[in-house]
């Protein structure tokens, strides 16, 4: 019941479910229940980058030349991205590590969260480069009503799961009267349901909310403005594409029953609730688009177009986890975003065209004569 950093029991971890089985003990990867998570780890490590590699000196000049309402769009979007990564840099660790039961998944969660901390450091790098007083911007994230509304919706499922797991670890199963919170029932189905909804809301955060913010960042770059920022966002988008695949795998594995038969029942029971999480998030993002563009639009992007993109991307993400699509928008209203999202031409330093699959020291030792067939001298 209570968490142990090294579970002394002897058990076969390949027989454990992803979550709420035995606490992990030996961090071993020679035998894996779900090898996909180690593949994600390897991919994520091959993506490693540092914000300082990206030069932002022209962004400062660009920013000063933006009109006031464009500065509002840029800064608000950046504040929102900062909020999202503040949550993602810690929450998978705090919420999921105490309940994970597979070593490869535990390490994926840590690797995933770590990459979010790189994103958080990039926002500071960006903000420091474009304004003289970063404090004003960071302080606004906890006081601005529009941003704090966002904070509530991205943290509520995490916080509920963490609260329940804390109770489970200290008190075990039962119904507990918590001062100021009322009665909270802790049972395995309730815990698993809280987990399933949390993973769904994380998928929404990374696969929908982030992409809406990427659209804004790239909207500036389409006009050859704030291009250093766009380079950083491109690197962040590459990481997020991998993270959203991680949560899609978790959700699909849970729903399939291949991992934990009890979880499949819960996933089926709360399918409607998950749909609602997606739909509500989409509505919140559309509201956010109205706030961004309240004082004026920019060339190529306005509240209506961004709203259509929200609907489109929500449909795509719902379909990816086996939900029926909800919105009428079936086409991407901003097809130019793909050219910005594509990872293969991410280039940080001029001397190093960074291919996303690039691995340092990765050489192929198995060569034979046929490998030189297409060589002409």
Partner 1 sequence: MPEQKEQVVHRVLLGKKQILVTEEEPLLVQLERAGIHVEYQCREGYCSSCSIKLLWGNVIYPFEPLAWVQSGYLLACCAIVKSDIEIAFFD
Instruction: By CB under 8 A, name the binding residues for partner 1.
Output: 36, 39-40, 43, 237-238, 241-242, 244-245, 248-249, 252, 315-316, 319-320, 322, 325, 330, 332, 335, 338, 341-344, 356-357
Nearest alpha-carbon partner for 259 in 188, 1, 267, 107:
267
Phi/psi at 302 (5° precision): -145, 180
CA 268/CA 186 separation, integer angstroms? 20
**Which two tokens mark 362?**
């990765």
Secondary element (H or E) of residue 182: strand 182-186
Taking the least distance from each CB to partner 1, the nearer of 281 and 334 is 334
Taking the least distance from each CB to partner 1, the nearer of 71 and 356 is 356
Taking the least distance from each CB to partner 1, the nearer of 25 and 356 is 356
User: In this structure, how many other beta carbons lie within 10 angstroms of the beta carbon of residue 357?
Assistant: 11
Contact at 8 Å (CB) between 347 and 353? Answer: yes
Strands (DSSP E) found in the chain:
174-178, 182-186
Taking the least distance from each CB to partner 1, the nearer of 182 and 335 is 335
State the nearest-atom distance from the C-beta of 341 to partner 1, in Å: 4
HSE toward the beta carbon, residue 132, CA cutoff 13 A? 1
User: In this structure, how many other beta carbons lie within 10 angstroms of the beta carbon of residue 58?
Assistant: 14
State the nearest-atom distance from the C-beta of 5 to partner 1, in Å: 30
123 among known catalytic residues: yes
3-state secondary structure of 196: helix
Residues contacting residue 272 through CB under 8 Å, at least 6 positions apart: none
The DSSP string of 242-261 is: HHHHHHHHHHHHHHHTSS-H
3-state secondary structure of 186: strand
Of the listed 80, 123, 157, 309, which one is catalytic?
123
Taking the least distance from each CB to partner 1, the nearer of 191 and 242 is 242
State the nearest-atom distance from the C-beta of 40 to partner 1, in Å: 7
State the nearest-atom distance from the C-beta of 322 to partner 1, in Å: 6
User: In this structure, how many other beta carbons lie within 10 angstroms of the beta carbon of residue 339?
Assistant: 10
Contact at 8 Å (CB) between 95 and 198? Answer: yes
User: In this structure, how many other beta carbons lie within 10 angstroms of the beta carbon of residue 159?
Assistant: 14
Taking the least distance from each CB to partner 1, the nearer of 193 and 317 is 317
**Which two tokens mark 75?**
């800064």
Which residues does the annotation mark as catalytic? 123
């Amino acid at each position: 019941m209570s968490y142990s950093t090294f579970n002394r029991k002897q058990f076969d971890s390949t027989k454990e479910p992803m979550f709420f089985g035995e606490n992990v003990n030996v961090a071993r990867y020679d035998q894996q229940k779900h090898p996909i998570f180690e593949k994600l780890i390897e991919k994520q490590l091959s993506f490693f980058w540092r914000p300082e590699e990206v030069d932002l000196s022209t962004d400062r000049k660009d920013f000063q030349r933006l009109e006031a309402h464009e500065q509002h769009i840029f800064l608000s979007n950046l504040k929102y991205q900062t909020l999202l990564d503040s949550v993602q840099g810690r929450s998978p660790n705090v919420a999921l590590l105490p309940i994970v039961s597979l070593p490869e998944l535990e390490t994926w969660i840590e690797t995933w969260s770590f990459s979010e901390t790189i994103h958080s450091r990039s926002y500071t790098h960006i903000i420091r480069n474009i304004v003289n007083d970063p404090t004003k911007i960071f302080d606004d994230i906890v006081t601005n009503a529009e941003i704090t509304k966002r904070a509530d919706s991205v943290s509520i499922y995490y916080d509920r799961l963490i609260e329940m797991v804390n109770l489970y670890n200290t008190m075990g199963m039962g119904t507990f009267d918590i001062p100021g919170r009322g009665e909270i029932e802790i049972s395995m189905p309730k815990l698993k349901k809280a987990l399933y909804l949390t993973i769904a809301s994380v998928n929404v955060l990374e696969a929908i909310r982030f992409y809406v913010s990427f659209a804004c960042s790239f909207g500036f770059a389409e006009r050859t403005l704030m291009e250093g920022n766009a380079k950083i966002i491109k690197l962040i988008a590459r990481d997020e594409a991998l993270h959203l695949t991680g949560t899609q795998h978790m959700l699909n594995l849970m729903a399939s029953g291949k991992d934990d038969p009890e979880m499949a029942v819960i996933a089926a029971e709360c399918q409607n609730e998950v749909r609602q999480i997606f739909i509500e998030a989409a509505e919140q993002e559309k509201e956010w688009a109205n706030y961004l563009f309240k004082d004026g639009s920019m060339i190529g992007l306005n509240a209506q177009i961004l709203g259509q993109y929200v609907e489109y991307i929500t449909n795509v993400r719902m379909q990816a986890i086996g939900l029926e699509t909800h919105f009428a928008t079936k086409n991407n209203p901003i097809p130019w975003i793909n050219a910005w999202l594509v990872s293969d031409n991410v280039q940080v330093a001029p001397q190093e065209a960074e291919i996303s699959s690039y691995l340092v020291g990765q050489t192929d030792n198995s060569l034979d004569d046929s490998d030189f067939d297409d060589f002409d001298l």
